[in-house]
Amino acid sequence: MSQSSERTLTTTTIPNSLPSAHHFVSLKLTHRILFSLFFSFDNRLLGFIDGSQSCPSPVIELPAGEQSDDVASVTPNPTYEAWIEQDASILSLLISSISEEVMYLTLGQTTSRAVWLAAETTLASSSHVRCLNLMGQFQSLRQGYSSTPEYLGRAQHLVEDLALARRSLTLTEQNLYVFRGLRPEFRSMAASLAVTDTPVTIPQLADYLQA
């Protein structure tokens, strides 16, 4: 490793704010957003789990000419042990903060990054299933005997839940599903709104129907 690389390694600041960070954990972490919110207290901590703060080399190579025998050699890298210690602290924090239902993801993982990737993959899969479930609910949503505010309120909640699950619906999609589920007496008004080619929000639709 070159001298410039050595200088980069030896000047890397290892965050020391982790011990006090334990006091901020009050909820079991089950979603990427919660992970990110917690680690935003110190972006350098987030770097350990997102891979931007990668593990340094265990040794530093000293070029030939810097030793008396004029032979290239290696020396222990002081930042390596510091990185290992810091990552172990973060790993311990993650394990103590992760929800019980996904605790199995930590088995066999030795770095905070490995736990992060395992959790992220699983949560992404769960999010996909949740999206499919919510979309199914929205597509089958019908007003039935519900009042207009109740029906549109259910629709709005589904729109918000889908947005949280990273599946934001366009106004056109919202109108398609909501109009289709209205009672027959409201469909003529929905049809007149549809032909204007100007999608409306659910609150706007509520105003039209109540008027």
Instruction: Rounding to the nearest 10 degrees, give the CA dihedral for residues 27, 109, 50, 98.
Output: -10
For the chain, the residue count is: 211
Instruction: Rounding to the nearest 10 degrees, give the CA dihedral for residues 82, 84, 89, 90.
Output: 110
Q: Return the pLDDT at 18.
A: 52
- Whole-prediction pTM value? 0.47
User: DSSP code of 11?
Assistant: T
The number of CA neighbours under 13 Å toward the Cβ of 60 is 18
Q: Look at the block and give the residue holding tokens 């930590």.
A: 106
Question: Would you call 171 helix, strand, or coil by DSSP?
Answer: helix
Q: Return the pLDDT at 70.
A: 58
Low-confidence ranges of the chain (pLDDT < 50): 1-17, 19-27, 33, 37
Q: Return the pLDDT at 7.
A: 32
